[in-house]
Amino acid sequence: MFKKNQTLGEFIIENQTSFKYSSGELSSLLNSIRLAAKVVNHEVNKAGLVDIIGAAGDVNIQGENQQKLDVYANEKFIQTLTNRNIVCGIASEEEDDFISINSNDENHQNKYIVLIDPLDGSSNIDVNVSVGTIFSIYRRVTPVGTPVTLEDFLQKGNQQVAAGYVVYGTSTMLVYTTGDGVNGFTLNPAIGSFYLSHPNIQFPENGTIYSVNEGNYIHFPQGIKNYIKYCQMEENDRPYTSRYIGSLVSDFHRNMIKGGIYLYPKSSLNAEGKLRLLYECNPMAFIAEQANGKASDGFTRILDIKPTELHQRVPFVCGSKNMVEKVEEFMKKAI
């Protein structure tokens, strides 16, 4: 139920009983992500001042080391989750290997693991364009109290218990799902609290926006080329509008609200596409499905792909249901 002026903290507590494994543990975990998001947001907002207070790698006038924002965000999320002692493992797009937490402590009862892309689209920071954080939460599959293993992280996306993103845009928003719809919260920077602003977000079934890096057109598979031409054809509600920020979270967020499709296909340059299955595609696919949208690699449901490695890449097509199905139709025809 939509309550006016409800904060994210209140929403998490109120809804924790509807979660199927009902436990305060997931609530604490979401609360730590909320905290890390605020810390990162503060730093991202200062990005334009970098030349004044010191460039990445420099020492600023206060004698503190300046860090690149993606490294900073990575550290902040890992630090918050580790300090609060609520997860047993973390994998990050910024780290080569997963991190096992308290792996030598037999009394360690934490069940959840987190996968995170701490600052996606970070090449956009220098030009003051929105970036985002993406997270994904699973229950471990190995026994509680033992060190986590790779097996805990290589679960299919359909096993996610929660996923979300933070978009550091004109306003900062946190959008997440625990498998019971998608809700969005907007940060009030004066108070430092997130407020429920977008309850029960739904992808329109059809859309008129397509988001793809068309500069790579020549390298795309024939099915994708045909779909792009279809988007540009004058017929019914087409030609569609083309919008590509080059920041997955922002492109996805706009498409989910207005109706549209995001595509990062494989190409003759990137044999498996560019986006990472575990840190980017699975969480966005889970959110999309929870909002009545769809996510596919062109042929297969993203959430049904069995991962084989931590940093695996997959082609990604995600957005309004009917648009994604259209792409799948074009892909099948072009085989």
Binding residues (CB under 6 A) for ligand AHM: these are 120-122, 213, 246-248, 274
Which stretches of 186-279 are DSSP H helices? 222-232, 248-258
Shortest distance in whole angstroms from residue 274 CB to ligand AHM = 6
Coil, strand or helix at 12: helix
Angle in degrees, 0-180, between the axes of helices 222-232 and 321-333, rounded to the nearest 10 = 130
**Among 312, 70, 57, 235, CA closest to 168:** 70
Return the one option of Mg ion, ligand AHM, none that residue 246 interacts with (CB less than 5 to 8 A, by type): ligand AHM
Q: Which is nearer to Mg ion, 117 or 328 (CB)?
A: 117
Output the residue with the shortest Cβ distance to Mg ion.
120
Q: For residues 21 and 217, which CB has a smaller minimum distance to ligand AHM in the complex?
A: 217
Least Å from the CB of residue 96 to ligand AHM: 15
Closest CA to 99 of 84, 88, 86, 111: 88
**Considering CB distances under 5 to 8 angstroms, the limit depending on partner class, which of Mg ion, ligand AHM, none binds residue 74?**
none
Q: What is the token pair recorded at 319?
A: 């957005």
Helix and strand totals (H; E) in the chain? 9, 13
243 or 311: CB nearest Mg ion: 311
Phi then psi dihedrals of residue 268, to 5 deg: -70, -10
Min separation Cβ 319 and ligand AHM, Å: 13
Select 122 or 296, whichever has its Cβ closest to ligand AHM.
122
Residue 171, both tokens: 């306003």
Nearest Cα to 173, choosing from 153, 197, 154? 197
Q: How far is the CB of 313 from Mg ion (least distance, A)?
A: 11
| CB of 68 vs ligand AHM, minimal distance in Å | 12
Residues forming contacts to Mg ion in the complex (CB under 5 A) are 117, 120
User: How far is 267 from 265, CA to CA, in rounded Å?
Assistant: 6
- Considering the complex, state which of residue 12 and residue 277 has its C-beta at the smaller distance from Mg ion: 277
Among ligand AHM, Mg ion, none, residue 32 binds (CB under 5-8 Å by kind): none
- Comparing CB distances to Mg ion, the nearer of 34 and 274 is 274
Min dist CB 21 to ligand AHM, Å, is 30
Q: What single DSSP character describes residue 190?
A: T
* CA gap 16, 53 in Å, rounded: 42
Q: Choose the one of ligand AHM, Mg ion, none that binds residue 213, judging by a C-beta under 5 to 8 angstroms depending on kind.
A: ligand AHM
